[in-house]
């Protein structure tokens, strides 16, 4: 009895909500647009995915930013170098030179005529007399003198021509020669290279000159 009573109550409640109208089945209208599948929005250029899953656009933007920063830095360096060159180039013109400030300004004055002094007359220089070189010659000794003389003999010749030939060679070498003619029992011509007043002087000359001659020198008292 109780179940029938509850069913009657539920049906009565439903009838109150429907106001006693019959049930109507409602079906929603299908939109032609709703049936089409919306195409995905195309990805913006530069945003395609890479193999790693990251967009390529971000790396390109980073590269472009780096290149832009590099260009700005280069331009800044060029400006700094140009400014420094301009500043230091004009710094010398702006800095006063103390040496130039100390130079007095040239005053306009009339030129003074200076009379040149006469050149001094050089004193006459006495020239030393030119001494002509005297070529040694052969002196003929044909007889004895009042006092004895000592001759340094370099050779004895039976013929005077041989003695004169040897004398000519000694004269060209700068030596004065003496040709002592034969006397008494002596038949030779003696050719000497010097005459002296005493024996000691003649012996000293013989010792000093012996090494220059192959012949044995000796002293003749005549």
Closest to 23 measured CA to CA, from 32, 14, 35: 14
Of residues 82 and 32, the one with the higher pLDDT is: 82
How far apart are alpha carbons 220 and 202 in whole angstroms?
9
- Check pLDDT > 90 for residue 10: no
Q: What is the 3-state secondary structure (H, E, C) of the chain?
A: CHHHHHHHHHHHHHHHHHCCCCCCCCCCCCCHHHHCCCCCCCCCCCCCECCCCCEHHHHHHHHHHHHHHHHHHHHHHHHHHHHHHHHHHHHHHHCCCHHHHHCCCCCCCCCCCCCCCCCCCCCCCCCCCCCCCCCCCEEEECCCCCCCCEEEEEEEECCHHHHHHHHHHHHHCCCCEEEECCCCCCCCEEEEEEEECCHHHHHHHHHHHHHHCCCCCEEEEC
Supply the pLDDT for residue 63.
78
The predicted-structure confidence for 68-126, as pLDDT tens digits, reads as follows 888 888 988 898 888 888 877 765 555 555 555 555 554 556 666 667 677 676 666 66
The predicted-structure confidence for 129-157, as pLDDT tens digits, reads as follows 666 667 899 999 998 888 999 999 999 99
| Domains identified in the chain and CATH numbers | 138-221 (3.30.70.1070)
Supply the pLDDT for residue 104.
54
Question: Which residues lie closer than 8 Å to 181 by C-beta, 6 or more apart?
Answer: 140, 141, 142, 160, 189
CA-based angle 85:91:94, to the nearest 5? 145
Supply the pLDDT for residue 131.
61
The phi, psi pair for 28, rounded to 5°, reads: -75, 145
Supply the pLDDT for residue 25.
60
């Amino acid at each position: 009895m109780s179940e029938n009573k509850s069913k009657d109550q539920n049906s009565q409640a439903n009838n109150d909500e429907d106001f006693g109208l019959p049930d109507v089945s409602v079906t929603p209208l299908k939109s032609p647009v709703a049936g089409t599948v919306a195409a995905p929005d195309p990805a913006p250029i530069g945003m395609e995915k890479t193999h790693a899953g990251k967009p390529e656009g971000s790396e390109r933007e980073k590269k472009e930013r780096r290149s832009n920063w590099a260009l700005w830095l280069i331009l800044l360096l060029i400006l700094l170098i140009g400014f420094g060159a301009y500043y230091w180039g004009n710094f010398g013109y702006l800095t006063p030179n103390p040496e130039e400030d100390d130079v007095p300004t040239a005053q306009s004055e009339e030129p003074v005529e200076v009379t040149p002094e006469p050149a001094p007359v050089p004193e006459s220089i006495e020239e030393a007399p030119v001494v002509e070189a005297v070529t040694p010659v052969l002196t003929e000794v044909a007889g004895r003198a009042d006092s004895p003389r000592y001759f340094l003999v370099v050779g004895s010749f039976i013929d005077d021509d041989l003695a004169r030939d040897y004398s000519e060679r000694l004269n060209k070498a700068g030596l004065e020669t003496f040709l002592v003619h034969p006397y008494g029992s002596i038949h030779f011509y003696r050719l000497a290279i010097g005459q002296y007043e005493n024996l000691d002087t003649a012996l000293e000359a013989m010792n000093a000159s012996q090494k220059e001659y192959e012949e044995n020198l000796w002293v003749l008292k005549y």
